[in-house]
Amino acid sequence: MKNTLLVAAREFRQIASMRSFWLTLVIMPLSIVIGAIAPQFIEKDEPDRVMVIDRAGGGEARAIAQRLGINDDRDALGDLSRYVQRHHLERADRGAPWAQHDRWYSDADVAQFNASGGVSAAKAKIARVKDNGTPEFKPSKPAYEVVPVPASLQAVPDGALDTALKPVLKPEGKDAKPVDYVILVPAAFGESPVVRLWANRQPSPSFVATVQDVLTRDLRTRFLAGEGVSPAAAQGASAIAPALAISTPPPGGGAKEAMLVRSILPLAAAYLLMISLMLSGSWMLQGTVEERSNKLLETVLACVSPEELMYGKLLGTAGVGLFMIAVWISCGIFAAYATQGAISDFIRPALDPLSSPGTIIAMLYFFVVGYVAIAILFLAIGAMSDSMRDAQGYLMPVILVIILPISVLMQAVLGGNSGGVLLEVLTWVPIWTPFGVLARLGLGIPTWEVIGTGILLAAFTAAEIVLLGRLFRASLLAQGQRPNLSEMISRIRAVEG
Amino acid sequence: MSVLTLERVSKRFDRTKAVDDLSFSVAPGTVFGFLGGNGAGKTTSLRMVLDIIRPTSGRIEVLGRAPGRANAPEIGFLPEERGLYRQMTALDTIGYFGRLKGMTSADAKQEGAALLDRFGLAANSKTTVDKLSKGMAQKVQLATALVNRPRLLILDEPFSGLDPVNQGLLEDEIRRMSAAGSTVVFSTHVMQHAERLCDRLLLLAKGRKRFEGTLDEARAELPARIAVVAKDDPSRLDAVESAEDRGEDGSGWRRWDVRLAPGIPPGDVLEHCVAQQFALRRFEQVHASLHDVFVHIVGAAETAQ
């Protein structure tokens, strides 16, 4: 045992002395942080600018501006509601619309929200009940900004607007702000339903739907009035809308969304297992090839048995892999609790599975045993190869066999599919079991399946240790050509007495 | 009690018999030479002694025990094909092998530092192996074998690839170990080293033992030769098998290379010379070199097969 630990410690130190090891260790959390933050920089920061040239009296322009404003306020109210629901802050004002999450907010709800002071008043109420660990609510920026029509455009005839609007939609100069949408409501609107829209790109469907809704209501009101309905009744009829009661899973808490969030950690474990295995496995392989090509093995084997050497290498490499994972997870936990905003919002709900001992045990078991089951393949390859070039010949097919089904498996889990036939099959094939079980832990995998696959994986790993152990022992001092399959089989079958 | 005993040991690889019915024993404190050409079975035998491979049949006893890693603390081993971990420092390398042989970290480092000092590498103890010259690396390799002050030092072709300075250093270390009471077993096919160092020799050919004994006993395997300066032809003397004329020495006498019949000591011939009033100016026994003995014994064995 002492020799095994000595070999493991040397293996660990050798890998830890490599620059690539430390680079990898830093790059992974860095890329996750960049991945979490980057979208904030990529997302469009400015609202779309909208100009309405209303030549039918100005009522349509006001209605469109009002509707866009209500929609932005509804979005803010919705965001606030999700925030309150996620952090259980309803007690701040149970009567407020943002404390009720059971419906699609109507215009009346938005009006009530605005009348009671909007986001700033709500934040003041929430501040009284929220604890220090709860992040501040940050409303999303308004989607649209209605800009006034410049005097130069007021007098331009409808037919000349195509030319006149060009510099408005695509102005010259770096600092000039373009107008994203220009709507022309002609003087004859009402008699004719024609309205023109210019956009400096493909118009957003939600924007078109909003404009269409506002103008349809007006046309409908005019029509009803023309049919003899009183103006008030006609307006009321146009404004009739269903009160939509909706049920959604609470953020990070229910159904598919909750399961996906809970899957982040197990999925990350499966992904990290794959990454750390590929990296540390190839480092271990390099070490073994170095021992062979540097003619070191005989000296080592005079002091330690091939079994001690093999177990030591596996232990050392598993130590490297687990150290990498520990560092990455520590970075994640640090980021979750030491930072606010995007990173913590992303990570904190994902750490929920760590509150379940069963999940922790399952994750650790499948991680460690899975590590050994696959790392031993790399070890056997190293023992059969005189150079890295030799090793590549075995390595590529093995890596492809391991990785290709895993990427399919992860896609399936990310798609919320936890029980497909393919997933079931992959989960029960020992070489993919660790990835299958880890990936499915968050989505829910039956306990019997976890235990069954766990036992099968242990049996497979034990068989690997015996059979590949023989191959390792027989290959250590073997010389000559790279062994083919029949030579490998004969080495596995040959038991030294 | 012997330090190392092999009894009727054989090792077969598929259809090849690498070692065939080999028996010998090595007494404590001996410098034992294991001689043979390429493919004679030397490395295979030593690997079996170290339990790196197992014999097909026969019995091996090392330091009173069966071969195994339990013996590692008392054995030093320098293989024919040598290498080091390139990214480890010289001192760490020696320390690592010391620890694998059961030493404490402190003892291994202390002994390693002393060895590096003795080999003139004290200033390079913290240098990684990939930055050492080949000669320096060879010294570090030797230090990994000596770090545990072994009772049994096994060296497989230790002189191959060494520069003359390191060959001298290795010879000194072998003598030093022997003087300190350690037993040294080394294989070689360079006869000069064996001639200078070995108390006993074993000649191996095609996996079989062809000779075991002292250097003198090995020389006795060849017929004795005498360098003679005489006026007459010595071939007429009793016990002389042949005499080759090597020419006049400048003063009317002739030089002769005389080969005796097998088993005849040169003293008997001298007696015959006196008894038969055979005039001599010089009578000198010529010792056969180990090289000649090796070629005689191993060459004959290989020709026979």
For chain B, 305 residues long, give each residue's pLDDT as a single digit of tens: 788 999 999 998 878 888 989 999 999 989 999 888 888 888 899 889 988 888 999 999 999 898 888 888 999 998 887 788 888 899 999 999 999 998 999 999 999 999 999 888 888 889 998 898 888 888 898 899 999 999 999 988 888 878 888 888 888 889 998 898 899 998 888 888 888 888 899 988 888 888 888 888 887 777 778 888 988 888 888 778 888 988 888 788 899 998 887 778 888 888 888 888 888 888 888 877 788 888 877 776 655 55
B134 touches chain A (CB under 8 A): no
Mean pLDDT, residues A73-80: 88
A486 touches chain B (CB under 8 A): no
Residue pairs between chains A and B whose CB atoms are closer than 8 Å: 66
> Hey, how many other C-beta atoms are within 10 angstroms of the C-beta on A135?
16
The fraction of chain A above a pLDDT of 70, given in percent, is 84
Looking only at the bridges linking them, the beta strands covering A144-147 and B208-213 are unpaired
For A300-344, the pLDDT digits (tens) are 888 888 888 888 888 888 888 888 878 877 877 777 666 655 555
What string of DSSP letters covers A155-215? TS-GGGHHHHHHHHHS-SSSSPPPPSEEEEE-TTBTTB---EEEESSSPPHHHHHHHHHHH
The answer to whether A283 and A378 have CB atoms below 8 angstroms apart is: no
> What confidence score (pLDDT) does residue B94 get?
93
Tell me the angle at which helices A485-493 and A447-476 cross, rounded to the nearest 10 degrees. Answer: 90
Whole-angstrom distance, CA of residue B241 vs CA of residue B234: 10
> What confidence score (pLDDT) does residue A497 get?
45
B69 touches chain A (CB under 8 A): yes
Q: A217 pLDDT band (50/70/90 cuts)?
A: confident
Mean pLDDT, residues A167-193: 84
- Contacts with A226 (C-beta within 8 Å, 6 or more apart), sequence order: none
Q: Name which of A246, A243, A371, A353 is nearest A317 in CA terms.
A: A371
The answer to whether B134 and B103 have CB atoms below 8 angstroms apart is: no
Would the pLDDT of A182 be above 80? yes
Mean pLDDT, residues A269-283: 77
State phi, psi for A50 to the nearest 5 degrees: -120, 130
Distance between B99 CA and the closest CA of chain A, angstroms? 8
The answer to whether A432 and A457 have CB atoms below 8 angstroms apart is: no
Distance between A287 CA and the closest CA of chain B, angstroms? 9
A496 touches chain B (CB under 8 A): yes
Whole-angstrom distance, CA of residue B116 vs CA of residue B114: 6
Chain A residues closer than 8 Å to B62 by CB: none
List B226's β-bridge partners, or say none: B258, B285
The answer to whether A468 and A380 have CB atoms below 8 angstroms apart is: yes
Which of B50, B72, B86 comes nearest A294 by C-beta?
Answer: B86
Tell me the CA end-to-end span of chain B in Å, nearest whole number.
36
Chain A residues closer than 8 Å to B88 by CB: 14
> What confidence score (pLDDT) does residue B117 get?
92
Q: Within chain B, what is the greatest distance between any pair of CA atoms?
A: 76
Q: Name which of A26, A80, A11, A6 is nearest A305 in CA terms.
A: A6
Respond yes or no on whether ipTM tops 0.95: no
A303 touches chain B (CB under 8 A): yes
Which H or E element spans position B258? strand B254-260
Percent helix, strand, coil in chain B (nearest 5)?
35, 30, 30
DSSP-derived letter for residue B180 is T
Whole-angstrom distance, CA of residue A225 vs CA of residue A233: 9
Output the six-digit token pair for A479.
Answer: 């010389």
The answer to whether A315 and A5 have CB atoms below 8 angstroms apart is: yes
- Contacts with A132 (C-beta within 8 Å, 6 or more apart), sequence order: none
Whole-angstrom distance, CA of residue B175 vs CA of residue B297: 27
> What confidence score (pLDDT) does residue A249 get?
60
Q: Name the amino acid, one letter, at B42.
A: K
* Collapsed DSSP state (helix, strand, coil) of residue B254: strand
Which of B51, B75, B83 comes nearest A294 by C-beta?
Answer: B83
> What confidence score (pLDDT) does residue A253 get?
45
Contact A6/B100, CB-based, under 8 Å? yes
Whole-angstrom distance, CA of residue A278 vs CA of residue A163: 60
> What confidence score (pLDDT) does residue A329 get?
77
Mean pLDDT, residues A437-444: 74
> Is the model's pTM score more than 0.80?
no
Looking only at the bridges linking them, the beta strands covering A48-54 and A144-147 are parallel
> Hey, how many other C-beta atoms are within 10 angstroms of the C-beta on B93?
26
Chain B residues closer than 8 Å to A303 by CB: 69, 72, 97, 100-101
B225 touches chain A (CB under 8 A): no
State phi, psi for A395 to the nearest 5 degrees: -65, -45
The answer to whether A19 and A283 have CB atoms below 8 angstroms apart is: no
- Contacts with A96 (C-beta within 8 Å, 6 or more apart), sequence order: A113, A116, A122, A125
Output the six-digit token pair for A393.
Answer: 């010949």
Whole-angstrom distance, CA of residue A41 vs CA of residue A296: 53
Looking only at the bridges linking them, the beta strands covering B183-188 and B16-26 are unpaired
Q: Name which of A125, A181, A121, A191 is nearest A149 in CA terms.
A: A181
Output the six-digit token pair for A83.
Answer: 């925030």
How many helices (H) and strands (E) chain B has is answered by: 9, 13
Q: Residue with structure tokens 């540097």?
A: A294
The answer to whether B181 and B279 have CB atoms below 8 angstroms apart is: no
Output the six-digit token pair for A88.
Answer: 């259980």
Which of B87, B97, B101 comes nearest A14 by C-beta?
Answer: B87
Would the pLDDT of A378 be above 80? yes
Contact A303/B101, CB-based, under 8 Å? yes
> What confidence score (pLDDT) does residue A388 get?
79
Chain A residues closer than 8 Å to B52 by CB: 298, 301-302, 477
Distance between B52 CA and the closest CA of chain A, angstroms? 6
CA distances, B259 to each of A489, B223, B239, B300 (Å): 59, 7, 9, 19
Return the higher-pLDDT residue of A255 and A101.
Answer: A101
The answer to whether A251 and A86 have CB atoms below 8 angstroms apart is: yes
Q: Name the amino acid, one letter, at A367.
A: F
Contact A296/B86, CB-based, under 8 Å? no
Chain B residues closer than 8 Å to A299 by CB: 77-79, 82-83, 97, 141, 144
Whole-angstrom distance, CA of residue A247 vs CA of residue A109: 17
**Which stretches of chain B are DSSP H helices?**
42-49, 90-100, 105-118, 134-146, 164-179, 191-197, 215-219, 266-275, 290-304
Q: Name which of B44, B74, B76, B73 is nearest B60 in CA terms.
A: B44
Whole-angstrom distance, CA of residue B265 vs CA of residue B224: 7
B95 touches chain A (CB under 8 A): no
Would the pLDDT of A419 be above 50? yes
* Collapsed DSSP state (helix, strand, coil) of residue B60: strand
A44 touches chain B (CB under 8 A): no
CA distances, A415 to each of A263, A270, A435, B195 (Å): 11, 16, 16, 79
Q: Name which of A164, A136, A210 is nearest A53 in CA terms.
A: A164
DSSP-derived letter for residue A71 is H
Q: Which residues of A169-205 are buried (b: 16+ CB within 10 A; e: fewer)?
A: beeeeeeeeebbbbbbbbeebbeeeebeebbbeeeee
For A1-32, the pLDDT digits (tens) are 788 999 999 988 888 888 888 888 888 778 77
Output the six-digit token pair for A457.
Answer: 């994986």
Which of A296, A298, A308 comes nearest B85 by C-beta?
Answer: A296
Whole-angstrom distance, CA of residue B118 vs CA of residue B139: 10
Q: Name which of A63, A66, A239 is nearest A144 in CA terms.
A: A66
- B76: nearest CA partner in chain A: A302
Q: Edge-to-edge strands of the sheet including B225-230? A: B240-248, B254-260, B225-230, B280-286
Interface test with B, best of A6, A288, A298, A472 (most B CBs within 10 A): A298
- A476: nearest CA partner in chain B: B52
Q: Name which of A223, A187, A200, A239 is nearest A66 in CA terms.
A: A239
> What confidence score (pLDDT) does residue A254 get?
44
The answer to whether B6 and B45 have CB atoms below 8 angstroms apart is: yes
Which of B82, B86, B97 comes nearest A303 by C-beta?
Answer: B97
Whole-angstrom distance, CA of residue B41 vs CA of residue B48: 11
- A308: nearest CA partner in chain B: B69
> What confidence score (pLDDT) does residue A46 get?
79
> Hey, how many other C-beta atoms are within 10 angstroms of the C-beta on A88?
12
> What confidence score (pLDDT) does residue B183 get?
93
DSSP-derived letter for residue B171 is H
DSSP-derived letter for residue B69 is G
CA distances, B297 to each of A148, A185, B293, B303 (Å): 113, 117, 6, 10
Q: Residue with structure tokens 């809308």?
A: A241
B234 touches chain A (CB under 8 A): no
Chain B residues closer than 8 Å to A477 by CB: 47, 52-53
